[in-house]
């Protein structure tokens, strides 16, 4: 193999993996996929990048007409029985909102709020009508009119407008029997009534479930714990077949999680394991830990020797690495379910275990590369917050139609933002490709090296009921913002492209307009955070294995998605999994190539330095080479200047690059992700199910391709192993002549270096390396020839 391939095998793999030799010099992504800085009118005024001071200052003000229908009294009876089933209609132009109906009640209390967007007002008069629900036709009871020009304005923190009693009028404008208590005012989305109000743009939504699914909501992730079950031993087991040595293991089940120990090496009725099993548990603890001791009596047949159920509410909680006390638990033939009678009494078998809830770990439900929370589970171990993150979700532009309704494309978009344990969901804007949310949210920040994720989705559950039960909300795109890349106290207003990778390529689904501000309460505390470990100390004192972390993260995401899916309105499983990047660990040719080119980009600086040094050694620029000789002589004669020179050089580079520092947050990069140049078959493979659902010939082709790539990687790994084994063989006497030469050389070198000053040796070695090309040979050097002749263990490979 070529000498450069042996010296730097990554270059050979680089050439083998690339399908396109021009991929290292790819054009920049199109402007359509780029980040755009904006200047919106935040808080009623144009943002200039400085900190704003109002309470709702990161969004544009949206004016609404609010109508609070409180209650009615003394309503006349319209039915034959003299009673009425009243409800209220609030009408403004073509928009019509209705309260719920009270059966046979003349003094109903509704306390419902209606909000009409000022941008869509189509009339100058507000009409509030009280009606009696009837089978054939609803009866008119009375109404009240309001002139929009005379409605008062209210801006928080003003106190809420007190409702007043209004006498109802009949169709001719005369006084009718009954009164209605109302409050009508003009306000903004900062009003306390805004989140729970019925909105005029949601008039097409039907049913209570549908209305609940379009409202904004704040969710909290369940508090997650790692549960450590240390299975030590069991005693006095009673196997069914006493004529054989039992092969005993312990199976532990917590909800949908099931783990088991290995078969005990101590064959008998007193087996021992001393093995740890790790689970994820969520508060409130709803399910007990079920342990069963089982005997493998046949390859596919296990006999239960005993069971026990342990409620997690009574399990010890550990905050540090100190071991908790172990306990003996009695084993029963049957675990008693609530309401079930006990079938057998306890017998003498028991199991010895050490069980604890680990509060010193952070339960990973996100990838560590873009985690939004790194705190331990136990609140006692939390540090104080270092700042506040504020997010203004302004609007979206150019969204693609996500579904068809009445023969035309439509989109009902909402946003979800996740940081730490707090999830927020904006209201759903009905049938709009340019929705305006203008909602602002706040999070406490405990670590600057964290990431906030914002996703946009299309709502498929507007009408509730069974029809929407099986539907899934469609993903439109998401944005990640790392807090450490933001300057403190600066308002960032940008329009982010919403990019989604489909099996037919990357597609821009629109743009989302965000305003972000990271406010630091103590700059010193934040700087001090950079010296702390990224994860809590238990991750380093008692680290979990990679396979354990992968399994526990999968279980954590399942628990979070299940718990949030049970909220009202639910944050659905497909939304939670998309925000948490579930499935990102699956094989992808595109992602593998992207990661390889990231490595090559990182090594690009070292490669450039190597090329520059090669030019110096070959005297391509004699002046530069002479200057390097002078610098080398100074550093050898004054070695105490080496480290100061290096750090001063790095300081000057950092100061020089400050002029070109990034002025905007990073965003999804299609070129870095290789999303815009992947082969269609690679994308189809990435979106394939697991296990595969593709035809056998396609699977065979992909398997052969994977074998080809794996063969190249295997060769590179073998070459690296060969170089390491040659180093080991220098002193192993595998080649007695080579080892003898190396040992004699080491003796001579030790004597020479002992009697010769180090500076002289360094100068001679440096001058030899930097010698003029006329003193060089094109043949490999003697040390390289000697190293390549050393034996490796490749001869022993089958």
Q: Note the pLDDT tens digit of each residue in 481-532.
A: 999 999 999 999 999 999 998 888 889 999 999 999 999 988 888 899 999 9
Give the model confidence (pLDDT) of 710-722 as tens digits.
899 899 999 999 9
Q: What is the pTM of this model?
A: 0.83
The answer to whether residues 315 and 425 belong to one domain is no
Q: First and final CA of the chain: distance in angstroms?
A: 20
Residue-wise over 321-348: b if at least 16 C-beta within 10 A, else e?
Answer: eeeeeeeebebbeebeeeeeeeeeeeee
For residue 8, the model assigns a pLDDT of 34
Query: Is the pLDDT at 624 greater than 80, yes or no?
Result: yes
For residue 44, the model assigns a pLDDT of 58
φ, ψ for residue 377, nearest 5 deg: -65, -45
Q: Residue 153 carries which DSSP code?
A: B
Look at residues 295, 326, 358 and tell me which one is the last residue of a structural domain.
358
The answer to whether residues 321 and 387 belong to one domain is no
Residues sharing a CB contact under 8 Å with residue 612, sequence separation 6 or more, in sequence order: none
State the Cα–Cα distance between residues 207 and 204, nearest whole angstrom.
10
For residue 48, the model assigns a pLDDT of 45
Look at residues 551, 580, 609 and tell me which one is the last residue of a structural domain.
580
> Sheet of 422-425: strands edge to edge?
217-220, 422-425, 413-419, 451-458, 474-482
Looking at per-residue pLDDT, the higher value among 797 and 310 belongs to 310
The answer to whether residues 406 and 553 belong to one domain is yes
Residues sharing a CB contact under 8 Å with residue 208, sequence separation 6 or more, in sequence order: 464
**Residue indicated by tokens 């009695």:** 330
Kindly state whether residue 285 falls inside one of the protein's structural domains.
yes
Question: Band of the pLDDT at 29, cuts 50, 70, 90?
Answer: low
Domain count along the chain: 3
State the Cα–Cα distance between residues 606 and 599, nearest whole angstrom.
11
**Percentage of the residues of the chain whose pLDDT score is greater than 90:** 48
The answer to whether residues 555 and 437 belong to one domain is yes
C-alpha distances in angstroms, 47 versus 108, 110, 490, 491, 522?
A: 47, 41, 10, 8, 24
Kindly state whether residue 75 falls inside one of the protein's structural domains.
yes
Q: Which two tokens stand for residue 665?
A: 């947050």
For residue 190, the model assigns a pLDDT of 83
The answer to whether residues 437 and 539 belong to one domain is yes
Residues sharing a CB contact under 8 Å with residue 665, sequence separation 6 or more, in sequence order: 35, 481, 482, 485, 486, 492, 494, 516
Report the SS3 class of residue 509: strand
The answer to whether residues 187 and 240 belong to one domain is no
Q: Which two tokens stand for residue 239?
A: 């196997």
- Looking up residue 468, the CATH number of its domain turns out to be 2.60.40.150
**Percentage of the residues of the chain whose pLDDT score is greater than 70:** 90
Average pLDDT of the chain?
A: 86
Query: Is the pLDDT at 540 greater than 50, yes or no?
Result: yes
For residue 370, the model assigns a pLDDT of 86
Query: Is the pLDDT at 14 greater than 70, yes or no?
Result: no
Question: Band of the pLDDT at 112, cuts 50, 70, 90?
Answer: very high
The answer to whether residues 353 and 397 belong to one domain is no
Residues sharing a CB contact under 8 Å with residue 64, sequence separation 6 or more, in sequence order: 115, 116, 117, 118, 186, 187, 188, 189, 191, 194, 197
State the Cα–Cα distance between residues 192 and 466, nearest whole angstrom.
32
For residue 666, the model assigns a pLDDT of 86
Query: Is the pLDDT at 643 greater than 70, yes or no?
Result: yes
Average pLDDT over residues 756-763: 89
Give the model confidence (pLDDT) of 424-438 as tens digits.
999 999 889 999 999
The answer to whether residues 388 and 327 belong to one domain is no
For residue 241, the model assigns a pLDDT of 78
Are 517 and 490 in contact by the 8 Å Cβ rule? The answer is yes
Kindly state whether residue 648 falls inside one of the protein's structural domains.
no
Question: Band of the pLDDT at 311, cuts 50, 70, 90?
Answer: very high
CA atoms within 13 A of residue 157's CA, in its CB half-sphere: 2
Kindly state whether residue 199 falls inside one of the protein's structural domains.
yes
The answer to whether residues 413 and 442 belong to one domain is yes
For residue 773, the model assigns a pLDDT of 84
Candidate ranges 218-232, 450-464, 693-707; pick with highest mean pLDDT: 218-232
For residue 386, the model assigns a pLDDT of 93
Query: Is the pLDDT at 171 greater than 90, yes or no?
Result: no
Count of C-beta atoms within a 10 Å radius of residue 85: 18
Element spanning 595, H or E: helix 589-617
Are 275 and 261 in contact by the 8 Å Cβ rule? The answer is yes
Give the model confidence (pLDDT) of 660-692 as tens digits.
988 888 888 888 888 888 888 888 888 888 888
Kindly state whether residue 698 falls inside one of the protein's structural domains.
no
Candidate ranges 49-53, 160-164, 273-277; pick with highest mean pLDDT: 273-277
**Cis geometry, peptide bond prior to residue 284 (ω within 30 degrees of 0):** yes
For residue 1, the model assigns a pLDDT of 37
Query: Is the pLDDT at 796 greater than 90, yes or no?
Result: no
The answer to whether residues 286 and 415 belong to one domain is no
Average pLDDT over residues 92-101: 88
Look at residues 531, 564, 580 and tell me which one is the last residue of a structural domain.
580
Domain that holds residue 433: 379-580
The answer to whether residues 322 and 387 belong to one domain is no
Looking at per-residue pLDDT, the higher value among 39 and 30 belongs to 39
Q: Which two tokens stand for residue 259?
A: 């783990």
| Geometric angle at alpha carbon 413, from 99 and 408, rounded to 5° | 90
Report the SS3 class of residue 739: helix
Helix crossing, 589-617 with 622-637: angle to 10°? 90
Question: Band of the pLDDT at 3, cuts 50, 70, 90?
Answer: very low
For residue 461, the model assigns a pLDDT of 85
Q: Residue 581 carries which DSSP code?
A: T
Are 278 and 226 in contact by the 8 Å Cβ rule? The answer is yes
**Nearest CA to 189 among 38, 393, 361?**
393
Query: Is the pLDDT at 85 greater than 70, yes or no?
Result: yes
Query: Is the pLDDT at 596 greater than 50, yes or no?
Result: yes
> Sheet of 95-98: strands edge to edge?
95-98, 86-92, 125-132, 139-147, 164-169, 175-188, 63-73, 109-117, 198-199
Kindly state whether residue 765 falls inside one of the protein's structural domains.
no
> What does the H/E/C string look like for 758-790?
HHHHHHHHHHHHCCCHHHCCCCCCHHHHHHHCC
Kindly state whether residue 723 falls inside one of the protein's structural domains.
no
- The set of long-range contacts for 163-168, using a CB threshold of 8 Å and a minimum separation of 24, is 163/68, 163/70, 168/130, 168/141, 168/142, 168/143, 168/144
DSSP assignment of 418-478 equals EETTEEEEPPPBPS-SS-EEEEEEEEEES-SS-EEEEEEEE---SS-TTTTTT--PEEEEE
C-alpha distances in angstroms, 509 versus 120, 496, 523?
A: 26, 11, 38
Kindly state whether residue 472 falls inside one of the protein's structural domains.
yes
The answer to whether residues 292 and 436 belong to one domain is no
- In this predicted structure, which of 128-132, 231-235, 529-533, 585-589 has the lowest mean pLDDT? 585-589
Give the model confidence (pLDDT) of 360-408 as tens digits.
999 999 988 889 999 999 999 999 999 999 999 999 999 999 988 888 8
Residues sharing a CB contact under 8 Å with residue 594, sequence separation 6 or more, in sequence order: 672, 673, 674
State the Cα–Cα distance between residues 534 and 688, nearest whole angstrom.
35
State the Cα–Cα distance between residues 483 and 489, nearest whole angstrom.
12
Q: Residue 529's Cα: distance from chain center in Å?
A: 21
Give the model confidence (pLDDT) of 174-230 as tens digits.
888 889 999 999 988 888 888 888 887 776 676 666 677 888 899 999 999 999 999
- The set of long-range contacts for 558-565, using a CB threshold of 8 Å and a minimum separation of 24, is 558/256, 559/222, 559/224, 559/255, 559/280, 559/282, 560/221, 560/222, 560/224, 560/282, 560/365, 563/221, 563/222, 563/282, 564/219, 564/221, 564/423
Burial label for 689, CB within 10 Å (0-12, 13-18, 19+), is exposed
């Amino acid at each position: 193999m070529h000498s450069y391939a042996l010296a730097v095998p990554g270059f050979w793999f680089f050439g083998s993996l690339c399908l396109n030799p021009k991929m290292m010099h790819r054009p920049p992504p199109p402007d359509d996929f780029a980040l755009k800085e904006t200047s919106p009118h935040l808080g009623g005024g144009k943002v200039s990048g400085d900190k704003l001071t109002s309470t709702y200052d990161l969004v544009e003000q949206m004016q609404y007409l609010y109508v609070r229908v409180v209650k009615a009294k003394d309503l006349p009876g319209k039915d034959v029985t003299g009673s009425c089933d009243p409800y209220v209609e609030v009408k403004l132009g073509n928009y019509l909102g209705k309260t719920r109906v009270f059966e046979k009640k003349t003094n109903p209390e509704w306390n419902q709020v209606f909000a009409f967007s000022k941008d869509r007002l189509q009339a100058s008069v507000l009409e509030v009508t009280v009606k009696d629900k009837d089978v054939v036709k609803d009866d008119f009871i009375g109404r009240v009119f309001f002139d929009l020009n005379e409605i008062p304005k209210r801006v928080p923190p003003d106190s809420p407008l007190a409702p007043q009693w209004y006498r109802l009028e009949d169709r001719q404008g005369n006084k009718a029997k009954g009164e209605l208590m109302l409050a009508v005012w003009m306000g903004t989305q900062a009003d306390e009534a805004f989140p729970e109000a019925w909105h005029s743009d949601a008039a097409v939504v039907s049913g209570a479930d549908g209305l609940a699914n379009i409202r904004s909501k704040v969710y909290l992730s369940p508090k997650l714990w790692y549960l450590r079950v240390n299975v030590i031993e069991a005693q006095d087991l009673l196997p069914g077949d006493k004529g054989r040595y039992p092969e005993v293991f312990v199976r532990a089940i917590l909800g949908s999680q099931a783990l088991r120990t290995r078969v005990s090496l101590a064959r008998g009725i007193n087996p021992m394991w001393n093995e740890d099993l790790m689970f994820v548990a969520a508060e409130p603890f709803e399910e007990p830990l079920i342990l069963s001791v089982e005997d493998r009596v046949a390859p596919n047949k296990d006999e239960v020797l005993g069971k026990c159920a342990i409620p997690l509410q009574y399990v010890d909680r550990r905050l540090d690495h100190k071991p908790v006390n172990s306990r003996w638990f009695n084993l029963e033939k049957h675990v008693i379910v609530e309401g079930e009678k006990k079938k057998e009494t306890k017998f003498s078998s028991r199991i010895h275990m050490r069980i604890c809830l680990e509060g010193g770990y952070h339960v990973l439900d996100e990838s560590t590369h873009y985690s939004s929370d790194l705190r331990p589970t136990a609140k006692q171990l939390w540090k104080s917050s270092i700042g506040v993150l504020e997010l203004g979700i302004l609007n979206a532009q150019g969204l693609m139609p996500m579904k068809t309704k009445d023969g035309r494309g439509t989109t009902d978009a909402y946003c979800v933002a996740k940081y730490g344990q707090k999830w927020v969901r904006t209201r759903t804007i009905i049938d709009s490709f340019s929705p305006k949310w203008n909602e602002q949210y706040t999070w406490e920040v405990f670590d600057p090296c964290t990431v906030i994720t914002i996703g946009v989705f299309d709502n498929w559950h507007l009408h509730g009921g069974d029809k929407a039960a099986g539907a899934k909300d469609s993903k439109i795109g998401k944005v990640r913002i790392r807090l450490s890349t933001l300057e403190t106290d600066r308002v960032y207003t940008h329009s982010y492209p919403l990019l989604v990778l489909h099996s037919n390529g990357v597609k821009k689904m629109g743009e989302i307009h965000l305003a972000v501000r990271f406010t630091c309460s103590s700059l010193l505390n934040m700087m001090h955070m950079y010296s702390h470990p990224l994860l809590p100390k238990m991750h380093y004192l008692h680290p979990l294995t990679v396979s354990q972390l992968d399994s526990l993260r999968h279980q954590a995401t399942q628990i979070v998605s299940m718990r949030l899916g049970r909220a009202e309105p639910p944050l659905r499983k497909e939304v939670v999994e998309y925000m948490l990047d579930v499935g990102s660990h699956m094989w992808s040719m595109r992602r593998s190539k992207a990661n390889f080119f990231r490595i090559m980009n990182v090594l690009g600086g070292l490669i450039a330095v190597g090329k520059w040094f090669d030019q110096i050694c070959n005297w391509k620029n004699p002046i530069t080479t002479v200057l390097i000789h002078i610098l080398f002589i100074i550093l050898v004669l004054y070695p105490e200047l080496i480290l100061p020179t290096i750090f001063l050089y790095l300081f000057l580079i950092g100061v020089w690059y400050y002029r070109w520092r990034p002025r905007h947050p990073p965003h999804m990069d299609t070129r870095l992700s290789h999303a815009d140049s992947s082969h269609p078959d690679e994308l189809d493979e990435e979106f394939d199910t697991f296990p595969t659902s593709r035809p056998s010939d396609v699977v065979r082709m992909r398997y052969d391709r994977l074998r080809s790539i794996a063969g190249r990687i295997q060769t590179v790994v073998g070459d690296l192993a060969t170089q390491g084994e040659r180093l080991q063989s220098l002193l192993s006497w595998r080649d007695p002549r080579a080892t003898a030469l190396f040992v004699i050389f080491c003796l001579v070198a030790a004597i020479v270096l002992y009697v010769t000053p180090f500076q002289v040796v360094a100068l001679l070695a440096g001058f030899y390396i930097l010698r003029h090309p006329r003193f060089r040979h094109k043949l490999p050097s003697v040390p390289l020839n000697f190293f390549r002749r050393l034996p490796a263990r490749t001869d022993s490979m089958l």
